[in-house]
Amino acid sequence: MPWYKIKHTHGKIDYCYELSECEVAFDFIRRRTWQISIEEWKPKKLDYQSLKTFYEELQNALHSGLQLNQAISHFALSSSHTILSTNCQALLNELENGRLFNDTLSKLTKPAAAPYCQLLNTQGSREDCEKSLSISIRQLTSLLDWSHRLLKAIVYPFCIIQIALIILIANHAMQSPNVEHYYVRIVSDIAIYVVCSIAQLSVINSLNKGHACTWLEKYSQNFRLTKLFSLLNSTRQTGVTLQEALKHMPNYFQHAETKVQIYQVYYTLHLGKSYASSFPSTWFPHESAIALHSATKDGNIERALILATNEHEKRWQKNITLLEKLIPAVCLLIAGGFVTSTLIALYKPLLEIH
């Protein structure tokens, strides 16, 4: 279903998520509102970073004593974040129409970040809502931190590439215009610089928004398991049972094999099988495997989950540290190629003189 933007004659703007423009028109006719114009609206959806910003502002507003709807109304009118302000207005309009907060927010969020909208407990008490907000912020912070660590690792090599390319362009520009293919060389150097800069900015922007998590999930099993157990623990802290948490876990992953495994665990447990026979052996390494076997006897899965979470976190920290060293090394090799070509271009005229 698309979003629609409704403009009133007196200047007010509403947003609505409906099946068609006719449904929107009939809805406003029932409200005895006639003088409106309706057009399809494509919202700029929230990513990891902007969703975290929204949660932090919402948490501060709740701590200040505002109610949930009051906080969203305040953001819609006064937020300095333009995208967030517009999306809050759309969210507020849908809440006024009786729509659920979590479902509406997920429709204003990019698919990768949308499942984190379901972590919020907006149907319970104020304390439950604040607790779920803290858990959600912590989860999003972890994802962004992993991505930002990789971003910091590539900044230095990227700067070297930029400097090398600028020196190469300057060197060729200072040569005599009578040199053969002078202008062709200048244009090709500038083209290489532009393409390289666009690629670098694209990578930096992607890492800054936390999109490294998409790549990591695709290629790293350890990352997937770390994310899975972290989410399981966080979801269960909101009062959700293990089986109910597993039921919603596939929504947080794009990796097909992981989604299948989670569904298999959920349905196996639902059929009454033991913990040891339900979970894949790779999920519970070392001491956590013993704790999982013990849970089959006494029914207490807590210790096994905690040990597995800690083990996967340790392994992932080693992997992310390795990536922090490996990625800059690869980038420096690329930078070395640009530096070498620049030095050859600088010293070639001198070598030809002798």
Express each pLDDT in 137-195 by its tens digit.
Answer: 888 888 888 888 888 888 888 888 888 888 878 877 777 666 666 677 788 888 988 99
Quick check: 274 and 304 in contact, CB under 8 A?
A: no
pLDDT at 18: 82
Least confident range of 48-52, 77-81, 87-91: 77-81
Q: 297 and 154 in one domain?
A: yes
Per the CB < 8 A criterion, the answer to whether 49 and 75 are in contact is: no
Domain assignment of residue 111, yes or no: yes
In a domain, 140, yes or no: no
What is the domain range of residue 8?
3-41
Q: Are residues 189 and 280 both part of a single domain? A: yes
Is 131 within a domain?
Answer: no
- Do residues 164 and 305 both lie within one domain? yes
What is the reported pLDDT for 264?
Answer: 92
Total structural domains within the chain: 3
Specify whether 239 is located in the same domain as 354.
yes
205 and 105 in a common domain: no
| Residue 294 lies inside a defined structural domain of this protein | yes
Residues 319-341 as b or e (16 or more Cβ within 10 Å = b):
ebeebeeeebeebbeebeebbee
Regarding whether 75 and 10 lie in a shared domain, the answer is no
- Same domain for 96 and 33, yes or no, is no
**Does residue 133 lie within any of the structural domains?**
no
| Residue 326 resides in a domain | yes
The answer on 289 and 154 residing in a single domain is: yes
What is the C-alpha to C-alpha distance for residues 99 and 116, in angstroms, rounded to an integer?
18
Domain membership of residue 283 (yes or no) is yes
Residue owning tokens 């701590």: 63
Q: Are 87 and 108 in contact (CB under 8 A)?
A: yes
Query: What's the predicted TM-score (pTM) here?
Result: 0.77
Surface-to-core class of residue 271, CB atoms within 10 Å of its CB (0-12 exposed, 13-18 middle, 19+ buried): exposed
Q: What is the CA radius of gyration of the chain?
A: 27
Q: Are 228 and 235 in contact (CB under 8 A)?
A: no
* Domain co-membership, 220 together with 257: yes
Model confidence over 265-279: pLDDT tens digits?
A: 999 988 888 888 888
